[in-house]
């Protein structure tokens, strides 16, 4: 049900109106004079800090500070000089802004709404649709409807789901209610900055098949400080074979040729904030309503858009702040991300789904629901293959079993070793280096023990490459193999796998050594001896190199 509207002329102070409920008066009385202006943070102390820390365990950000900052606080204009100088058409398409929430802190939600209302040209903003996904908190259940009636203009409406549908299906309900020419999805803890919508509206007018993503600035979860940058560099989206979104820099050749105001093509999106032509959204299949809860929908939509005739961009001139919370303060069904991602892989990754199931072999036997309708999209729109996507949209993505001379589990070929090279659960992200170790060999090919020697001589897994680093422990020098983010120009990341099975580091001439072969120990690079503990065997070898598999005497 969509409700909204005003009984009286809208006035921000409004206290002289006797119809203003006491609940709204109390909510608005919490604001501290001048706190948070120009995006500044608010730092608490004493009992306030103690209370805030307890509340943060519930809300996943500092609700106490949020309640004290004005719903209309000013923000710094983080746009570059070049972005500020851009001019846009006078007849830009109209936007429906869809904001879904479940038991969101009222101040964070309304600050999102007011930032959209105040910083969007009125001739572009068609409506704001709030989707309450089964909230049961008093502020949302009682104060929000009254606030909409007494404080917000008629173009703000509320859709109430009788029970929690989850992020994906709740967004579908918002999209169904939308009547603007394009839809903008925002999270409920954002702040739109000046000039945020015009760049995306212009691009969608120019190309209705493009998804536009704003530059996502950070709002600190504790102080609510707003951090933005107006430089021309931007980050774009990638993905891991485990089915997770990652941020990365623009490819060097693209970064060198683009202007600072040019949108950057991105292979994937984080999924929380983006704009899309409404007709195109439904033409390509909206969201997969067979998904539930949270997770996986961002990669599914990313792969589908690119494969089925669209594209995705991040616009450097559009800024939206977002509170990055350390956890989800609402219920997420068990493993919804994994099951949703398996649905995505089955429909959109073609034969490359094998690399997803390497991480989630358990999902091969799980019922992930009917895929008939989703697979029909591929035929209806004559969508390109996932290999086309890899070759043309994400050509620098490393495909472990296609771009290597050897791959799989790696063990010393001494005829008795039962341990394999393993990341020992240290491989957390692309930014954190770690020392490589050993662990009992898994009976299956799993991500923690999947290593390769690439065609260009990297000893690596999906995105981390082996280097040699010297450390001192107990006055003794040790040369360990450290995994760090791959860099094709880093000569310290070059190795040679000999036909006899030695894995030699090019710069130092040292060889990877099994050592004592104890589970949990770290491997080292030592002087090459030709001993069996330095002769390595992979599961698989490139055609023509099968003879490299060491034979145990």
Task: Residue 287: give its domain's CATH number.
Answer: 3.90.550.10
Output the pTM of the full model.
0.91
The reported pLDDT for the residue numbered 7 is: 32
Query: Of 302, 323, 344, which one is at a domain's C-terminal end?
Result: 323
The whole domain housing 284 covers 2-6+78-323
Q: Which string of DSSP letters, residue by residue, matches 93-149?
A: PPEEEEEEESS--HHHHHHHHHHHHHSS-TTTEEEEEEEEES---HIIIIIHHHHHH
8 A C-beta contact, residue 434 and residue 426: yes
Under DSSP, is residue 399 helix (H, G, I), strand (E, B) or coil?
A: coil
The reported pLDDT for the residue numbered 3 is: 38
State whether 308 and 419 are in the same domain: no
The reported pLDDT for the residue numbered 474 is: 60
The reported pLDDT for the residue numbered 16 is: 54
Query: Of 257, 292, 323, which one is at a domain's C-terminal end?
Result: 323
The reported pLDDT for the residue numbered 330 is: 86
State whether 140 and 281 are in the same domain: yes
The dihedral sign for the CA sequence 358, 361, 364, 366: negative
Asked whether residue 368 is assigned to any structural domain, the reply reads no
Asked whether residue 354 is assigned to any structural domain, the reply reads no
How far is Cα 237 from Cα 430, in angstroms, rounded to an integer? 13
Asked whether residue 34 is assigned to any structural domain, the reply reads no
Asked whether residue 367 is assigned to any structural domain, the reply reads no
Q: Helix H segments across 152-251?
A: 167-177, 198-206
The reported pLDDT for the residue numbered 175 is: 98
CA dihedral of residues 470, 472, 477, 480 (deg, nearest 10): -40
The reported pLDDT for the residue numbered 136 is: 93
Beta-carbon contacts of residue 248 (< 8 Å; ≥ 6 apart): 235, 236, 237, 238, 430
How far is Cα 146 from Cα 17, in angstroms, rounded to an integer? 14
Query: Of 301, 323, 345, which one is at a domain's C-terminal end?
Result: 323
* Domain total in the chain: 2
> Burial letters for 356-376: b for 16+ Cβ neighbours within 10 Å, e otherwise?
bbbbbeebeeeebbeeeebee
Q: For each of the chain's 553 residues, which pLDDT tens digit applies? A: 343 333 333 344 445 567 889 999 999 999 998 999 999 999 999 999 999 999 999 999 999 999 999 999 999 999 999 999 999 999 999 999 999 999 999 999 999 999 999 999 999 999 999 999 999 998 999 999 999 999 999 999 999 999 999 999 999 999 999 999 999 999 999 999 999 999 999 999 999 999 999 999 999 999 999 998 767 678 999 999 999 999 998 887 787 788 999 999 999 999 999 999 999 999 999 999 999 999 999 999 999 999 999 999 999 999 999 999 989 888 888 999 999 999 999 999 999 999 999 999 999 999 999 999 999 999 999 999 999 999 999 999 999 999 999 999 999 876 667 889 999 999 877 778 999 999 999 988 888 999 999 999 999 999 999 999 887 666 566 789 999 999 989 999 999 999 999 999 999 999 999 888 788 889 999 999 988 889 999 999 999 898 888 865 4
CATH assignment of the domain containing 443: 2.80.10.50
Asked whether residue 485 is assigned to any structural domain, the reply reads yes
Asked whether residue 392 is assigned to any structural domain, the reply reads no
The reported pLDDT for the residue numbered 2 is: 41
State whether 422 and 535 are in the same domain: yes
CA dihedral of residues 364, 365, 366, 371 (deg, nearest 10): 60
């Amino acid at each position: 049900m969509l409700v909204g509207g005003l009984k009286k002329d809208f006035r921000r102070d409004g206290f002289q109106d006797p119809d203003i409920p006491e609940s709204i008066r109390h909510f608005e009385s919490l604001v501290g004079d001048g706190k948070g202006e120009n995006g500044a943070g608010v730092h608490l102390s004493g009992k306030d800090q103690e209370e805030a820390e307890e509340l943060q365990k519930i809300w996943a950000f500092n609700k106490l500070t949020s309640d004290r900052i004005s719903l209309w606080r000013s923000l710094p204009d983080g746009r570059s000089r070049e972005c500020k100088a851009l001019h846009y058409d006078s007849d830009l398409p109209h936007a429906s802004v869809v904001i879904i929430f479940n038991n969101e802190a009222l101040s964070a939600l309304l600050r999102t709404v007011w930032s959209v209302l105040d910083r969007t040209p009125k001739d572009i903003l068609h409506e704001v649709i709030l989707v309450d996904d089964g909230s049961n908190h008093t502020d949302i259940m009682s104060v929000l409807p009254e606030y909409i009636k007494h404080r917000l203009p008629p173009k703000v409406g509320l859709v109430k789901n009788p029970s929690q549908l989850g992020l994906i299906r709740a967004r579908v309900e918002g999209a169904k209610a939308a009547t603007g020419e394009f839809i903008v999805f925002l999270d409920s803890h954002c702040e739109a900055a000046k000039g945020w919508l015009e760049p995306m509206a212009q691009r969608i007018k120019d190309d209705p098949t493009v998804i536009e993503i704003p530059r996502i600035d950070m709002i600190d979860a504790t102080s609510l400080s707003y951090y933005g940058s107006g430089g021309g560099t931007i980050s774009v989206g990638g993905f891991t074979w485990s089915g997770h979104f990652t941020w990365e820099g623009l490819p060097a050749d693209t970064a060198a040729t683009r202007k600072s105001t040019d949108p950057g093509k991105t292979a994937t999106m984080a999924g929380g904030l983006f704009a899309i032509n409404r007709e195109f959204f439904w033409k390509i299949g909206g969201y997969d309503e067979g998904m539930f809860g949270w997770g996986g929908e961002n990669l599914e939509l990313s792969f589908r858009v690119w494969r089925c005739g669209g594209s995705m961009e991040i616009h450097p001139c559009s800024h939206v702040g977002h509170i990055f919370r350390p956890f989800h303060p609402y219920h997420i069904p068990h493993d919804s991300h994994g099951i949703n991602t398996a649905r995505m892989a089955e429909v959109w990754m073609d034969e490359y789904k094998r690399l997803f199931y390497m991480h989630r072999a358990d999902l091969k036997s799980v019922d992930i629901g009917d895929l008939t309708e989703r697979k029909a999209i591929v035929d209806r729109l004559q969508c390109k293959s996932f290999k086309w996507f890899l070759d043309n949209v994400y050509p620098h993505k490393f495909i472990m079993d296609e771009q290597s001379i050897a791959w799989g589990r790696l063990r010393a070929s001494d005829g008795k070793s039962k341990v394999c090279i393993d990341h020992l659960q240290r491989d957390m992200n692309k930014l954190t280096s770690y020392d490589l170790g050993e662990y009992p060999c898994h009976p299956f090919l799993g991500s923690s023990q999947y290593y390769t020697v690439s065609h260009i001589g990297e000893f690596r897994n999906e995105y981390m490459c082996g280097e040699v680093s010297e450390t001192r422990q107990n006055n003794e020098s040790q040369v360990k193999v450290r995994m760090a983010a791959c860099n094709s120009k880093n000569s310290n990341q070059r190795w040679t796998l000999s036909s006899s099975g030695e894995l030699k580091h090019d710069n130092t001439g040292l060889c990877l050594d099994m050592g004592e072969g104890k589970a949990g120990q770290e491997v080292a690079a030592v002087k090459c001896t030709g001993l069996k503990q330095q002769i390595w065997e992979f599961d698989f070898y490139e055609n023509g190199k099968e003879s490299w598999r060491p034979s145990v005497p």
